[in-house]
Structure 1
């Protein structure tokens, strides 16, 4: 099966089973949104190529676990830590993860069912199974992570050469056990490292600051509250807010708000009805400088707002409509 090519980031993000998440593009990117998927019964492999830098928030479904490996050159940070070649990010059921990429990223990922994971975990002596239910960054060695990466890529190569290679239960189950064991051995090694106590714990955990901050930003986009009240709503200083958002999203809360607003405008344009206008839609989100907004929109989504509206209404954009300026 060839890799699936998606027209935009939403179709790409929605194609991944077992996880509820939101993706936001944050910058320019001309590459494809591509995903290669290999289903192995209780375990799914993914090889993805992002078409642009993104923000991401999401959590696996109940009974689903995941491992995310960032490939070289991706500049990916999840839960405030760079995902390097000596580790991977572990996703536990129903635990939200935040992260971002500074450039269009490529990755490998594994989606495990609880049954497959725990069956293999029972074979590994002294493994702390409770640690599997915590979302965290697992750091071991380049060799151990490279072995996992090589196994995944080899599985895709085998499937490409022989599409029926994993149809029989014997080879499929043997591979699933080998890969799952390699991942769990990384857990075991990471779990044996002594933790370093940190002084000066902030009044609110970083995750909670960001959760409250994102919730306030969403409410402000709906017109329920003012964005400027975010420190009061969160219960943290502006400095703590900035630090938490920078750690998890690589940007300040105000920048995050502007990106969310652009995506909210895009959603509203795509669901427009007869009689809706760009001016009217933008005014819902407190945007009055339509020329500047149109330029930002075109850089982000490769489409002018008037073209987006015309698509939704099944009409051609009229000459001189706001946001129809030619791209440079």
Structure 2
């Protein structure tokens, strides 16, 4: 089992299986970040505990389906614009973007499954499995009590920690993997998506994706609301409604958060001659006092401390 305890979100973000994305903090870090992973040859079971309120924007990696199940703060978690509760499951398909907004530090369970295993299960249960679920992200109503699925996952976690030699033989892994997939799909199928309009299902994620792709494509450029509206060919009102629904914050606040994260990355990769003032000016920051207060609120340290921590690291050995 992989066990990871992180002081902040960067290392945690990079360790996630089956998805690729980035966090934006909604609140100051309140605790460390923890991730436990059990690998079962084609299936990765993950338990995560986040250290702050967050927005996670990610995309399913090619070759993997994922399920997402909050274990706490259900009422504070929104997936794909749908507020979750203890009876809802998130289903994510390969190469489709998704957004998880958790206004409070939350704990969750995910299962990343190889396409090969999912398709094999589908072939064996053709009468229960609609091919439509293979093409779209959905939030589904659980078909049965989720407690047995969570209990099984926790039991695998305990055995992997206490007696890994018992679990990690080819026969045992195969048996455990099949039991986990059976329990998962029995909870999920037949998939009953939470009802939303067809127009919203198709147009809204595309508009939001264009806005976020612009931010990712221009990380060192100060962007404004007008830039997002122009890139998405939509009105400020529509964009404001979409950001609030899917990401839990206005576009203005998201832009501010994006700028804070971009400056933090720049500070952590600053050259020996670069100063905080120069780096902030690059991102259009003119009120340094206010910026420093916001930076400390979200990252728990001042910009100068981030820069010092970067420069205190030993130089990399080119050999």
Fold conserved (TM > 0.5)? yes
Q: Which has the higher contact order (CA 8 A, sep 6+)?
A: 2
Matched, 1:37 2:42: no
SS in 1 for 2:281: helix
SS of the aligned residue for 1:55 comes to: strand
Q: Which residue of 1 aligns with 2:317?
A: none
Q: For the Cα contact (< 8 Å) 1:216–1:225, is it kept in 2?
A: no
Are the counterparts in 1 of residues 220 and 262 from structure 2 also a CA contact under 8 Å?
Answer: no
Counterpart in the other structure of 2:59 = 59
1:262 partnered with 2:260: yes
User: CA offsets, 1:58-87, max 9 Å, x none?
Assistant: 112211111111012252211111232112
Q: 1:197 to 1:222 in 2, by over 3 A?
A: closer
Length-normalised TM-score, structure 1: 0.87
Q: Secondary structure at the match of 2:34?
A: strand
Provide structure 2 residue ranges, at least 5 long, that are not aligned to the other structure: 314-319
Q: TM-score w.r.t. structure 2 length? A: 0.90
How far off its partner does 1:250 sit?
0.4
Structure showing greater Rg: 1
Asked if structure 2 preserves the Cα contact closer than 8 Å seen for 1:140 and 1:189, the reply is: no
| Residues in 2 aligned to 1:202 and 1:111: alpha-carbon distance in whole angstroms | 27
Question: Any idea what SS the aligned residue of 1:52 has?
Answer: coil
Q: Following the alignment from structure 1 to structure 2, what is the Cα–Cα distance between the partners of residues 179 and 223?
A: 45
Q: How does 1:1-328 map to 2 (within 5 A)?
A: 1=1, 3-74=3-74, 75-126=76-127, 127-141=129-143, 143=145, 145-191=146-192, 198=197, 201=199, 205-218=203-216, 222-223=220-221, 226-314=224-312
Q: Tell me by how many angstroms 1:27 deviates.
A: 0.8
Shift in alpha-carbon separation, 1:159–1:216, aligned structure 2, 3 A: closer
| Distance of 2:25 and 2:78 partners within structure 1 | 15
Cα shift at 1:25: 1.6
Secondary structure in structure 2 of the residue aligned to 1:190 = coil
1:241 shift after superposition = 0.7
CA shift for structure 1 position 99: 1.9
Q: Is the 8 A contact 2:225 2:251 kept in 1?
A: no
**More displaced 10-residue stretch of structure 1: 54-63 or 164-173:** 164-173
Deviation at 1:226, TM superposition (A): 4.7
Offset from partner CA, 1:162-189 (integer Å, 9 cap, x none)? 2212122233212211221222233422
CA distance in 2, matches of 1:2, 1:58: 22
1:319 maps to none
**How far apart in 1 are the matches of 2:218 and 2:290?**
21
d(CA) in 2 for partners of 1:184, 1:259:
37
Shift of 1:115: 1.6
User: Quick one: structure 1 residues 52 and 196, their matched pair in 2 at CA, closer, same or farther if it must change by over 3 Å?
Assistant: closer
Higher alpha-carbon deviation: 101-110 or 124-133: 124-133
Per-residue CA deviations over 1:38-97 (Å, capped at 9, x if unaligned) read: 111111111110011111111122111111110122522111112321121111111111
Q: Is the 8 A contact 1:87 1:142 kept in 2?
A: no
Query: Structure 2 CA distance, aligned partners of 1:226 and 1:6?
Result: 32
**For the aligned residues, what is the CA RMSD?**
2.3
Query: For residues 196 and 45 of structure 1, what CA distance do their matches in structure 2 show?
Result: 28
Which 5+ residue runs of structure 1 have no aligned equivalent?
Answer: 316-328
Deviations 1:249-277 (A, max 9, x none): 00111110000000011011111112211
Conservation of the 8 A alpha-carbon contact between 2:5 and 2:33: yes
Distance 2:216 2:85 in 1: 32
Contact 1:59 1:96 (8 Å CA) reproduced: yes
